[in-house]
Amino acid sequence: MAGKTLYDKIWDDHVAHQAEDGTCLLYIDRHLVHEVTSPQAFEGLRMAGRPVAAPDKTIAVPDHNVPTTWDREDGIDNEESRIQVDALDKNAKEFGVVYYPVNDIRQGIVHIVGPEQGWTLPGMTVVCGDSHTATHGAFGALAHGIGTSEVEHVLATQTLIQKKSKNMKVEITGKLSPGVTAKDITLSVIGATGTAGGTGYVIEYCGEAIRNLSMEGRMTVCNMAIEGGARAGLIAPDATTYAYCKGRAEAPKGDMWDQAQAYWETLYSDDDAHWDKVITIKGEDIAPVVTWGTSPEDVLPITASVPSPRDFEGGKVDAAARSLDYMGLTPGTKLQDVEVDAVFIGSCTNGRIEDLREAAKIVEGKTIKSNIHTAIVVPGSGLVRLQAEEEGLADIFKAAGFEWRLAGCSMCLGMNPDQLGPEVRCASTSNRNFEGRQGRGSRTHLMSPAMAAAAAVTGRLTDVRELG
């Protein structure tokens, strides 16, 4: 019998019921909840008179709507946002789930809070009504986004109706070159496979370059598995994982830790496991990259030029033409000659302490270029903010001309007031460059924190390796 992949093992350990047609009830170990995709689910429970099945495994935190400006203790101006955040507050208390309210220092983006508090652990199943739940796969947890109907289903039953996905291995061999980060890995993989390349699969990322990443970097890689269409991204747990988890508030302690770690050490793909698809990329072939279009697959090395629709085939020809028109770019223009108006550093992709360190390293002692009218740094959680302030990173950003904000999803999707105007071009560490994502008509270029910082100081898309 063939060996098992990591995904196979986690799956097998969570099947609570299997029907004859292969449909399974998968037990959910952690259910993360935010204010945007949960109100209709709680309302459904209320109308049916159902309780939350496992409130101690359900963790709620507001993040999408919350203002990130320093006056937010005074309340939320936007009435609809306020109603949604108030609804989460009411629901969390009524149903007795774990809850970090807006003004709790532990509040932040749900995918940063979960790992930070030790809720996310290897071998778990983690779901959330948010596609970037894939982030938690960095711990070797099977983690994916779900819709609101499924949120209600998990709240009511602590299970999810699932059919198994296929196994894909993405191996990043060797070492990364200087200036190349986890963000460049994950964007390059999407560039190679396309945004539908992972559809129907769970991806396991492996190889030396992945092994050498910190937990922060691994979370960045897995976070964008969804942009490649995959249901989830996974990285097998190792010493780096255990070191990150140990001592966290909700992680097991003492003998329980030892028992847990003994189990986690069984969580790897067997040598003879079956893979439905394998992709191998050499670490040394990955360059610092940026996106030029309105799909995360529109990735090019920073040294390249804006492509022409003629460079593509099939439906991508029209899509590329539409993207270039939307982005206001002319084929043949060097990407490094493209001026930007705004810089956003933050999000569940790149709002962790290591991301802020990388960016601060680039801007230290420099100031943002005069053509940049908006430059904000939004830490992923209150605790990331505190740590960055203690390490002096906040002062570096402020001295360079950045605004230093409170934690939230912010300009990654602009459900709060952090939005860009039409035709404003942004160097962004977020995860989606879709039309209108950061504000109607706004133009997003995705890149790493170091690259976004470099763009801030030069006022244009910049090869971070040339900044020295």
Partner 1 sequence: MEKFEKLTAIAAPMPLINIDTDMIIPKQFLKTIKRSGLGVSAFYEMRYDMDGNENPDFVLNQDAYRDANIIVAGDNFGCGSSREHAPWALLDFGIRCVISTSFADIFFNNCFKNGILPIVVTPEQLTLLMDDAQKGSNARMVVDLENQIVESSDGTQIPFDVDAHRKHCLLNGLDDIGQTLQKATSIDAFETQMRESRPWV
What's the rounded Cα separation, in Å, for the pair 384 and 378? 10
Residue closer to partner 1, measured from CB, 83 or 105: 83
Binding to partner 1 in span 272-311, by CB under 8 A: 295
Binding to partner 1 in span 43-72, by CB under 8 A: 43-44, 48, 50, 57, 64-65
| One residue of 69, 72, 156, 309 binding partner 1 per CB under 8 A | 156
For position 84 contacting partner 1 by CB under 8 A, the verdict is yes
Phi (first) and psi of residue 467, to 5 degrees: -80, -25
Residue linked to tokens 């629709």: 309
| One residue of 105, 243, 256, 278 binding partner 1 per CB under 8 A | 256
Amino acid at 21: D
Binding to partner 1 in span 227-246, by CB under 8 A: 227, 229-231
Residue closer to partner 1, measured from CB, 35 or 354: 35
CB 368 within 8 A of CB 458: no
CA 154 to chain centre: 22
Nearest to 333 by CA among 206, 410, 453, 425: 425
| One residue of 46, 51, 75, 83 binding partner 1 per CB under 8 A | 83
Residue closer to partner 1, measured from CB, 413 or 450: 413
Alpha carbon separation from 335 to 141, 292, 296, 330, 445 (Å, rounded): 37, 8, 16, 10, 10
Report the side by side order of strands in the sheet with 58-60.
98-99, 58-60, 30-33, 125-128, 142-145
Report the side by side order of strands in the sheet with 277-282.
232-234, 201-206, 166-173, 277-282
Binding to partner 1 in span 334-363, by CB under 8 A: none
| One residue of 318, 337, 389, 466 binding partner 1 per CB under 8 A | 318
| One residue of 342, 359, 413, 446 binding partner 1 per CB under 8 A | 413
| One residue of 12, 23, 278, 367 binding partner 1 per CB under 8 A | 23
| One residue of 7, 39, 397, 402 binding partner 1 per CB under 8 A | 39
For position 4 contacting partner 1 by CB under 8 A, the verdict is no
| One residue of 129, 207, 233, 408 binding partner 1 per CB under 8 A | 129
Q: Shortest gap between Cβ of 130 and partner 1 (angstroms)?
A: 6
Binding to partner 1 in span 432-461, by CB under 8 A: 432, 434-437, 440-441
What's the rounded Cα separation, in Å, for the pair 176 and 283? 5
Of 205-213, 359-367, 399-407, 410-418, the segment contacting partner 1 by CB under 8 A is 410-418
The C-alpha angle 178, 184, 186, rounded to 5 degrees, equals: 140
